[in-house]
Structure formats: structure tokens, C-alpha cells
């Protein structure tokens, strides 16, 4: 490499190092770009639509917003229960309902947890007390959940089912 070329190339290489680029060019057609350098790719864009029909090109993807929203809500779905799990949960359903119905008005999250403890469900009790009643989810050691709501007036709504796909028994509001 000639002295003149090195003198012209040095500032270019220093700037490339400072700017974090992989190449630079100097007058005379000389380039420092590696020949096998990957070319940056841009992520595909959503295909535009004309009268509701997507216009598909190489650089776009078709998106179904309703399917995407349904997929986004999958975390709320409950897992299936085996017959053994259902039988075990059913054996706790009425005792838990009775324990929850004896709570004072308005009830608290702590009182709900204690009510589940009184019927032998102490492992994973989740509550959400927003000041307008208490939502709850109580996991059974054999699998599955008791979940529902204790209203401010003491009325109890309780059901059985599998854990939600996110894990646990209580789905978070607005999540």
C-alpha cells in the first residue's frame, strides 16, 4: 500500500472506528468494507389494504388484527382439569363457600386468605382487593383452582377450574 493511500485511509479508518461503522470510502474508489459483511435488513412492514384486501408484496406481512387480539387474550384461558383434579376441587367447593359467606361485611383480602386456610387450602391464595369486594384464586395442591369474588355485601361467587395459562389462579385485571 502506497504512502499516499495510507495517509488518505488512516483518517477514514479512525472515523469508521469512532462512528462504529464497518466501512468507509476514500476518493479513488478504495473501500474498507468487508466483502462478506451482512447487509442490514429492515423488519417487514404490515401490508397495506385496499378496500379491506391486503396488497401483499415481498417486504410486508399480512396481519389479522382480530386473530392477533384473540391470541393476546390466550393467557386468560384456563387449563383443562383431570377427573381427579375436578373431584378434589369439588370436595373443597362447598366448605370454601361456607367459610367465605361467614366473613364480615365488607370483607378484606386477609380474611379471604384465612377462610381458605380454614378449609385446608393454604398454599397459593391470590387476592385482589380494590376496595369494592375481593377477587380471589386459591390453588389446590392436587392441581386446579377455586376462584371467584366476595362482594362488599358478602355475596360469594365461587367456581372451579384449571390454572390460567399465565400461571396461578387469578387473572389480573387490565393485564
pTM here? Answer: 0.59
pLDDT averaged over every residue in the chain: 77
Burial bucket for residue 168 (CB in 10 Å: 0-12, 13-18, 19+): middle
Handedness of CA 106, 110, 111, 115 (dihedral sign): positive
Question: Mean per-residue pLDDT for 58-80?
Answer: 74
Q: Tell whether the model's pLDDT for residue 100 goes beyond 60.
A: yes
Which pLDDT belongs to residue 62? Answer: 75
Grid coordinates of 9: 485511509
Question: Mean per-residue pLDDT for 35-56?
Answer: 67
Eight-class DSSP state of 63: -
| Adjacent-strand bridge partners of 2 | none
H-state helical runs in 26-132: 65-72, 83-101, 109-118
Q: Tell whether the model's pLDDT for residue 19 goes beyond 60.
A: no
Question: Mean per-residue pLDDT for 139-164?
Answer: 92
Question: Mean per-residue pLDDT for 6-35?
Answer: 53
9-13, 22-26, 56-60, 93-97: range with highest mean pLDDT? 93-97
Which pLDDT belongs to residue 11? Answer: 59
Question: What confidence category does residue 21 fall into, taking pLDDT thresholds of 50, 70 and 90?
Answer: low
Q: Tell whether the model's pLDDT for residue 24 goes beyond 60.
A: no
Which pLDDT belongs to residue 79? Answer: 86
Amino acid at each position: 500500500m502506497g504512502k499516499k493511500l495510507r495517509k488518505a485511509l488512516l483518517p477514514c479508518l479512525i472515523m469508521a472506528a469512532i462512528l462504529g461503522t464497518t466501512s468507509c470510502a476514500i476518493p479513488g474508489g478504495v473501500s474498507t468494507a468487508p466483502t462478506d459483511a451482512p447487509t442490514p435488513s429492515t423488519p417487514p412492514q404490515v401490508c397495506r389494504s385496499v378496500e379491506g384486501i391486503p396488497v401483499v408484496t415481498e417486504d410486508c406481512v399480512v396481519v389479522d388484527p382480530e386473530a392477533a387480539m384473540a391470541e393476546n387474550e390466550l393467557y386468560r384461558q384456563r387449563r383443562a382439569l383431570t377427573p381427579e383434579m375436578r373431584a378434589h376441587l369439588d370436595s373443597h367447593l362447598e366448605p370454601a363457600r361456607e367459610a367465605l359467606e361467614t366473613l364480615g361485611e365488607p370483607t378484606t383480602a386477609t380474611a379471604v386468605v384465612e377462610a381458605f386456610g380454614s378449609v385446608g387450602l393454604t398454599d397459593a391464595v391470590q387476592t385482589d382487593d380494590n376496595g369494592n369486594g375481593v377477587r380471589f384464586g386459591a390453588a389446590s395442591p392436587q392441581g386446579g383452582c377455586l376462584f371467584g369474588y366476595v362482594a362488599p355485601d358478602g355475596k360469594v361467587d365461587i367456581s372451579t377450574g384449571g390454572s390460567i395459562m399465565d400461571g396461578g389462579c387469578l387473572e389480573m385485571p387490565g393485564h
